[in-house]
Structure 1
Amino acid sequence: MSTLAGKTILMSGGSRGIGLAIALRAARDGANIALMAKTDTPHPKLEGTVHSAAEQIRAAGGQALPIVGDVRNDDDITEAVLKTQGEFGGIDIVVNNASVIDLSGSLDLAAKKYDLMQDVNVRGTFMLSRAALPILKDAENPHILSLSPPLNTTPRWLGAHTAYSMAKFGMTMATLGLAAEFAKDGVAANTLWPETTIATAAVQFALGGDRMMKVSRTPDVYADAAYAVMLQPAREYTGQTLIVEDVLRAAGVTDFSGYAAVPGTPDSALFPDIFL
């Protein structure tokens, strides 16, 4: 495929950050994007709602369907899938973007936060993908894309933040499992993760504040890589734990300077992301 024009993407989250950047990149082709997100009204610390994201998608050239829902709720998932199919006639791509981060050590992590990470990251990825699969199987070039890391299960990453590592690796395992299970149906399922930190609210509030934001890349680097993945032939390009920059290099990108959150920041000064 050379364009996402007319293709329909169902995304969890997406009211801001990386998810919104991916949606806007697809919208420039004229894609249809259904966003299932909780943010119905403005958050005191986080910019954007599912409605403001939909407005940006339309302004970029796409069709938008904002759906207020929680990926932890099975009824919300079912409603999102049915609404997307009803509005656009099918689903071509599912993007598992919704995720919760807490890097607390095991003795400091609240039990509710552990449950939240498992429910959103792992269960949400599996359940949204599963609910969409009967429709995806009828698509011309169906993809599932989860924003999660390769299974680098070394003591360094398992021990750094055990609960969060379990949740993100769980997203990846769910995706790789679906890739194997539905390969015969031609449904691709891959994961995508960056080499460097990305300038989002998660980095600002969970990793390192403004200092970390300045040594990160913009969400556009993730969006461009996701776009390249979604154009790949589904039957041939599946079951991979992909790295953002590797995807772009394979697409011919050699200069990443334009993705620096602070223009002029050399690649050597950027902060490496976790799990790699």
Structure 2
Amino acid sequence: MTTASSTPRRVALVTGGSGGIGRAVVERLAADGFAVAVHYAGNKDRAEALVEEIAAAGGRAVAVAGDVADEKAMEAAFDAVEATFGGVDVMVNTAGIMVLSPVATLDLDDLDRMIRTNVRGTFVVSQQAARRLRDGGAIINVSTSVTRTQLPTYGGYVASKAAVEGLTLILARELRGRDITVNTVAPGPIATPLFLEGKDEETVAAFSKAAPLERLGEPRDVAESVAFLAGPARWVNGQVLFTNGGLA
């Protein structure tokens, strides 16, 4: 499913693009003039509704499906975007899952799920991007500020996101000579269903006061950082950008 007709200057593929941070990234990049591929794993209706919204605003978009940890599915997703828009310039990996538990009691099946989506998924998509992005492009991964704040119960999740940061730093150096930047955005507490699930009002209120700006971040705050890295930030490469309102 595609929309509109003019040929865009740049094309972005956003995994997990139909909700939360991914949706905000899609909306911001579309507003910046990108043609956007909205990737989804299970919610086709939500992805296609977002595509229609972008069309109504005069943009171009397509919905693409697939398990990010499945290399064949992601190869097919890139094929679909290239067939529709002619190529891919920016890859944004927002797809991810989070299960919170002390290390001592974390269900290892939940750990496996996080590793599969957050680590293998980011690796698979980054691998396709490294092979297929046009020169002058950008790969933007998503980590978490908890790699620095080390909050209890985040052990499994942080382990997966620390791997994403390590992958980012290596891939940036492997793509020498291509003019492709590779960076990670590490949000602080963001008011998304992924963050809010399972937290009571007292816990959410405490998180909202943790940063000097004394509020939870919004998905659009992260989208601003992604847009910076996807567009003008051509001298920022191999970095982790903490987008957290000053959280220590």
TM-score normalised by L of structure 1: 0.76
1:108 to 105, 111, 136: 105
Aligned partner letter, 2:62 = L
- CA–CA distance in structure 2, aligned partners of residues 115 and 161 of structure 1: 15
Change (3 A) 1:79 1:149: same
- CA–CA distance in structure 2, aligned partners of residues 150 and 216 of structure 1: 13
Aligned partner letter, 2:16 = G
Kindly report which structure 2 residues correspond to 1:167-246, keeping only aligned pairs within 5 A, or say none.
Answer: 167-194=160-187, 196-208=188-200, 212=204, 215-234=215-234, 236-244=235-243
Percent of aligned pairs with the same amino acid: 28
Structure 2 equivalent of residue 7 of structure 1:
10
Change (3 A) 1:108 1:151: closer
Query: Are the equivalent residues in 2 in contact too, given 1:50–1:68 (CA < 8 A)?
Result: no
Query: Are the equivalent residues in 1 in contact too, given 2:97–2:118 (CA < 8 A)?
Result: yes
- CA–CA distance in structure 2, aligned partners of residues 207 and 164 of structure 1: 16
- CA–CA distance in structure 2, aligned partners of residues 205 and 110 of structure 1: 18
Aligned partner letter, 1:134 = R
Question: Secondary structure of 1:146's match?
Answer: strand
Structure 1 equivalent of residue 212 of structure 2:
none
Matched, 1:164 2:157: yes
Aligned partner letter, 1:14 = G
Can you give the 5+ residue segments of structure 2 that lack an aligned partner in the other structure? Answer: 1-7, 209-214
Query: Are the equivalent residues in 2 in contact too, given 1:12–1:35 (CA < 8 A)?
Result: yes
Can you give the 5+ residue segments of structure 1 that lack an aligned partner in the other structure? Answer: 43-48, 246-266
Question: Secondary structure of 2:36's match?
Answer: strand
- CA–CA distance in structure 2, aligned partners of residues 132 and 33 of structure 1: 15
Query: Are the equivalent residues in 1 in contact too, given 2:139–2:183 (CA < 8 A)?
Result: yes
* Root mean square deviation, CA, Å: 2.5
- CA–CA distance in structure 2, aligned partners of residues 129 and 148 of structure 1: 14
Tell me by how many angstroms 1:108 deviates: 2.3
Structure 2 equivalent of residue 255 of structure 1:
none
- CA–CA distance in structure 2, aligned partners of residues 209 and 72 of structure 1: 34
Aligned partner letter, 2:81 = T
Question: Secondary structure of 2:221's match?
Answer: helix
Matched, 1:148 2:140: no
Tell me by how many angstroms 1:212 deviates: 2.1
Structure 1 runs, 4 residues or longer, greater than 6 Å off: none
Alignment coverage as a number of residue pairs? 233
